[in-house]
Amino acid sequence: MTSNFFQPAAALPREARRFWWLAAAAGAAYAVSLRGAPYPDQAVAKVFLCVMLLFAALYHREHRERVWLCAALIFSGAGDVLLALPGMAQGFVLGLGAFLLAHLAYFVLFWRVRRRWSQVPAWHRVAIVLVWITAALAYVMYWPGMGELKAPVACYVIVLAMMASAALLANVGGEWAAVGALLFTVSDALIGTTRFVGSVPAQEYAIWILYALAQLLLTAGILAKRPGNDARTSGANTGSGGGTGRGESGERDERDGSRGDARSV
- What was the pLDDT predicted at 44? 94
pTM of the model: 0.83
User: How does residue 248 score in pLDDT terms, banded at 50, 70 and 90?
Assistant: very low
Bridge partner list, 170: 114
Give me the helix-helix angle, 176-196 and 150-169, nearest 10°.
Answer: 160
Q: Is the pLDDT of residue 184 over 60?
A: yes
Q: Is the pLDDT of residue 206 over 90?
A: yes
pLDDT mean across residues, the chain: 87
User: How does residue 201 score in pLDDT terms, banded at 50, 70 and 90?
Assistant: confident
User: How does residue 6 score in pLDDT terms, banded at 50, 70 and 90?
Assistant: confident
User: How does residue 173 score in pLDDT terms, banded at 50, 70 and 90?
Assistant: confident
User: How does residue 245 score in pLDDT terms, banded at 50, 70 and 90?
Assistant: very low
Contacts of 194 (CB under 8 A, 6+ apart): 200, 203, 207
In the chain, domain spans: 8-259
Contacts of 145 (CB under 8 A, 6+ apart): 195, 196, 197
Contacts of 14 (CB under 8 A, 6+ apart): none
Q: Is the pLDDT of residue 260 over 60?
A: no
- What was the pLDDT predicted at 259? 40
- Residue length of the chain: 265
Q: Is the pLDDT of residue 57 over 90?
A: yes
What's the rounded Cα separation, in Å, for the pair 159 and 116?
21
What's the rounded Cα separation, in Å, for the pair 228 and 107?
23
- What was the pLDDT predicted at 200? 84
- What was the pLDDT predicted at 4? 76
Please compute the mean of the pLDDT values over residues 210-229 and round it to a whole number. 89
Question: Per residue in 78-102, pLDDT tens?
Answer: 999 999 887 777 888 999 999 999 9
What's the rounded Cα separation, in Å, for the pair 258 and 161?
20
What's the rounded Cα separation, in Å, for the pair 96 and 156?
8
Choose between 236 and 208: higher pLDDT: 208
Question: Per residue in 15-46, pLDDT tens?
Answer: 999 999 999 999 999 999 999 989 989 999 99
Q: Is the pLDDT of residue 246 over 70?
A: no
Question: Per residue in 113-137, pLDDT tens?
Answer: 999 999 999 999 999 999 999 999 9
Where would I find the beta strands (DSSP E) of the chain?
none
User: How does residue 229 score in pLDDT terms, banded at 50, 70 and 90?
Assistant: low
Please compute the mean of the pLDDT values over residues 131-147 and round it to a whole number. 97
What's the rounded Cα separation, in Å, for the pair 146 and 201?
21
